[in-house]
Amino acid sequence: MGSSSPQEAQEKSFKAEIRGGREKEVWFLKISKLALAFAIIHSKPAGQSCREYIEHLARAASEPEQGWKSRAEALEAEVLRLRQELLLHKICPRFCLENGKPDASAKTLVDQECTIPTSSSSQLEDSGCDVSSECAFDSFGAASALHQPARDGGASKPWLERALPLNLCSPSREESLAAPVQFLQHLLEIRQLSEGGILQADFAELEKDSSAVCHSVSRLLEGLTVFYSQPAFPFSGFLTEAVGVLVSVLTDTKLSNHVLKKCFRKLEEFEKSLIQIILRASSVNRFQALHAIAHTLVLLARNNLLRKSLISLLLPEVRQVAEQLLQAHQLQAEWDITQYENIFPLCMVLEQLLQKEAEGSKVSSSECDEGGRSRFLEDLDRVVLCLSDEFPLFSICLWRVSVLLNPAPAPMD
């Protein structure tokens, strides 16, 4: 065999050096780990096990990382705030300069909120056994006052004066909602003043960049989910204000389209979260909280597309509970009484939304998810008949929903 060329010999030598370098690196890494282990053992405080000491060192090492995460989140929030201000300035520079900050009346409102509970909050302090369904579900009527501007100052007095400043009574929870709520209130106030001819606003800027609005809505939804997942009584007036602002944005003709284009999935996830919070609630005094969450669902359904989505989400949940009760009845097995009690607020919401559509909504009942409607109505008469003796109230709810889903045809002339 011929000898290898100088180039081949050089390549072999180079590869051997690489292998040798890698072996040295592996050896050095093993020695370093062993040395570190010995150092940890020797430096371990007396009276503490090696495992406990290692866990302590791991926590200490992770603290800088957590600090960086919190700083990154703060910077991200600051970037969003600057984008919000920039968008407001593009839409209406005069509004940003003259009314961009809440005055002393906002601070007065917060002080009153911290010391004087609202009438609705005082009702939430009892055991939760006496709930007025009229108060909880009169969402398409008197409850519209949640997001109407103040009337006492006339059209020229900005609604923004009722906005809450960033330093709230409970900064850990409410402060996370304050920024998006204030920004969306700014937009709604511009809409109100521009329609009254007081300000000139160019909402065409939203066509170019609506991401600041969508990110604000997303943050608001995340914050509201946290509030409803861990309800604390009495509910603050700020929570009511936040829900009212969200509903106002979703029902505003100029703002809702931009939000729905990018946030529809987020809004659907929010609806799903509220439904699951209702179904999984298990505390003894949960009923008023459930009615308050159901009330929020009804408010969201003022938007036609969200109402259609919510009906499609509620139908399978109600049908699933009906099938579980039917199976328990047939097998004489135990059934979950907590879930049975929790389904009634959702039945009331579903009935109210279907009733709203039957009264002449833009989204007719025929436009609902046909597959979901047919699955709900499938063999429903037999289900209602079997459950009527043991679960009469739930059977009545099923029957009322089925009538709204499958109305009798109009008589022919």
Interval 257-295: pLDDT, tens: 888 888 899 999 999 999 999 999 888 888 888 998 999
Separation between Cα atoms, residue 308 and residue 354, nearest integer Å: 9
pLDDT digits (tens, 9 = 90+) for 25-51: 777 778 777 777 777 777 778 777 877
- pLDDT band, residue 10 (cuts 50/70/90): low
Residue 225: which of 130, 122, 296, 141 has the closest Cα?
296
- pLDDT reported for residue 40: 73
For 357, other C-beta atoms within 10 Å of its C-beta total 23
Q: What is the mean pLDDT of the chain?
A: 74
Average pLDDT of the residues in 51-69: 72
Is residue 142 pLDDT above 50, yes or no? no
Of 78-92, 171-185, 188-202, 316-330, the range with the lowest mean pLDDT is: 171-185
Diameter of the chain measured on Cα atoms: 107
- pLDDT reported for residue 6: 66
- pLDDT reported for residue 360: 63
Amino acid identity of residue 179, one-letter, is: A
Residues 391/335, Cβ–Cβ less than 8 Å? no
- pLDDT band, residue 399 (cuts 50/70/90): very high
The radius of gyration computed from the CA coordinates of the chain, to the nearest angstrom, equals 30
Separation between Cα atoms, residue 278 and residue 20, nearest integer Å: 64
Q: 363 or 66: whose pLDDT is higher? A: 66
Separation between Cα atoms, residue 121 and residue 232, nearest integer Å: 11
User: What are the contacts of 330-337 at 24+ separation with CB within 8 A?
Assistant: 330/386
Separation between Cα atoms, residue 234 and residue 141, nearest integer Å: 23
Residues 113/238, Cβ–Cβ less than 8 Å? yes
Is residue 60 pLDDT above 60, yes or no? yes
Could you tell me which residues come within 8 angstroms of residue 324 by beta carbon, excluding any fewer than 6 positions away? 335, 336, 339
Is residue 202 pLDDT above 60, yes or no? yes
Of 7-16, 92-101, 375-384, the range with the lowest mean pLDDT is: 92-101
Separation between Cα atoms, residue 295 and residue 277, nearest integer Å: 13
- pLDDT reported for residue 196: 77
Name, of 61-70, 191-200, 302-311, 372-381, the range with top average pLDDT.
302-311
Question: What is the model's pTM?
Answer: 0.67
CA 260 remoteness from chain centre: 14
Average pLDDT of the residues in 371-392: 87
In the chain, where are the structural domains located?
A: 68-302, 305-407
**Which tokens is 44 given?**
């371990």
Residue 350: which of 408, 264, 271 has the closest Cα?
271
